[in-house]
Amino acid sequence: MSGSVVPVQAAVAEHQGSAARRDDGEGRTRMAPSLTVVAALALILVCGVITIAGFGFSFVRLATGSMSPTFPADSILLVRSVPAASVQVGDVVTVSRDGSVPITHRVTSVLPTTSGAELVLRGDANTADDPEPYQVAKVGLVLGGLPVGGGALVALQSPLGLGVATVVVALLVLWAWWPRREPGAHVKEPG
- Delineate the domains of the chain, giving CATH numbers in brackets: 1-59+158-191 (no CATH), 62-147 (2.10.109.10)
**Which pLDDT tens digit goes with each residue over 4-32?**
444 544 444 444 444 445 555 555 455 55
Are 144 and 117 spatial neighbours (Cβ–Cβ below 8 Å)? no
Distance from C-alpha of 152 to C-alpha of 74, rounded to nearest angstrom: 9
**Which pLDDT tens digit goes with each residue over 136-184?**
999 999 999 888 878 887 777 788 888 888 888 888 878 877 777 776 6
- Write a three-state SS string for 9-62: HHHHHHHHHHHHEEECCCCCEEECHHHHHHHHHHHHHHHHHHHHHHCCEEEEEC
Tell me phi and psi for residue 164, to 5 degrees: -65, -45
**Which pLDDT tens digit goes with each residue over 107-116?**
999 999 999 9
Three-state secondary structure call for residue 106? strand
